[in-house]
Amino acid sequence: MNIILLGAPFSGKGTLARQIVEDFHMVQISTGDLFRENIKNGTEVGLLAKSFMDKGQLVPDSVTIEMLSKRLESDDCKRGFILDGFPRTVAQAQALEKIAKIDSVIQLDVPFDEIRRRATGRRTCSKCGEIYNTATYNKTTCEKCGSPLFQRDDDNLETVNNRLEVYVKQTAPLIDFYADRLFVVKGQDTPADTYKPVKTFLKGRL
Ligand code: AMP
C-alpha cells in the first residue's frame, strides 16, 4: 500500500507518518528530510534547496521530482511507502502518477491559527527525528534517544506565514486532484486522537 500525507506545514504529517510506520511497517519518505540530509552533506542539491527552504518557498519541481524518483527506486519502497511532504504541486502529483501507484491520500485538516501556535515551539531530535513542542515538553534532549533537540531554520513565524501562503496557492489544489482517494482527518487534537481514525481507515484497506 502506498500512501500520501497531505497537509499544511505543522499539520502533523511527520508525527502521523511515524505512527503508521510502527503499525504497518512501511517506509516513510519525507522530501523535507531528504533535502535536509543533502544540506548536511553539502551536496549540490542541498546547496540549491537551502536557498528556497530558508525563505519558505518550494524547491523547483524538476529537482524535487528527480530526488524523489531516485528514492522510490530503493528496495525498501517495495513493501509500501508513506510520502510526507510530497507532492506539493500539481506538476509533482502528475509526475508521481507516472512512477508509482498511490492507493490513499490522507489529508490532515488543521486551522491555520493552531498551525501558527505550533510553529515557533517545534523542536526536532537531531538523531532520530522525533518531534516535540515546547508547549508540552521543555527539555533540550530527546526522550527516546537522549540526543540534543534543535529548532529548524525554517520554523519561525515569518517563514511559516510564507509557507502557509505557498500551501494555499500550490499544494491545496491537490485536495481536488486526489478527490477519488482522499481521507480527511481533523488534526488539531492530540497525536493519538488524530491517529485513531487513520488506523481504522488503513486497516480497512489492507
Ligand atoms: P518539510 O520538512 O516537509 O516541512 O519541508 C521543508 C521545506 O523543504 C519546504 O518548505 C520546501 O522548501 C522544501 N520541500 C520539501 N518537500 C518539498 C516538495 N515536495 N516540493 C518542493 N519543496 C519541498
- pLDDT of res. 124: 92
Q: Tens digit of pLDDT for each residue in 77-118? A: 998 999 999 999 999 999 999 999 999 999 999 999 899 888
Q: Is 52 in the pocket of ligand 1 (CB under 6 A)?
A: yes
Quote the pTM value: 0.88
**CATH assignment of the domain containing 195:** 3.40.50.300
Nearest ligand 1 atom, CA 13? 3
Q: How far is the CA of 204 from the centre of ligand 1 (A)?
A: 30
State how many domains the chain has. 1
The pLDDT score that the predictor gives to residue 157 is: 85
Q: What is the pLDDT of residue 127?
A: 93
The pLDDT of residue 63 is 96
User: Quick one: DSSP state of residue 189?
Assistant: S
Q: Is residue 90 part of a domain?
A: yes
What is the crossing angle of helices 112-119 and 157-166, to 10°?
140
> Which domain does 160 fall in, by range?
3-26+79-205
Instruction: Give domain status of residue 48, yes or no.
Output: no
Q: What is the pLDDT of residue 43?
A: 96
74 belongs to a structural domain: no
What's the pLDDT at 147? Answer: 97
Residue 10 placed within a domain: yes
Asked, for residue 131, whether it belongs to a domain, the answer is: yes
Q: Which of 79, 152, 203, 205 is catalytic?
A: 152
Establish if 73 belongs to a structural domain: no
* All cell numbers assigned to 165: 501562503
Q: Give the chain's residues under pLDDT 50.
A: none
Residue 183: its pLDDT value, please? Answer: 97
Q: In this structure, is residue 33 part of a structural domain? A: no
Residue 57 lies in a domain: no
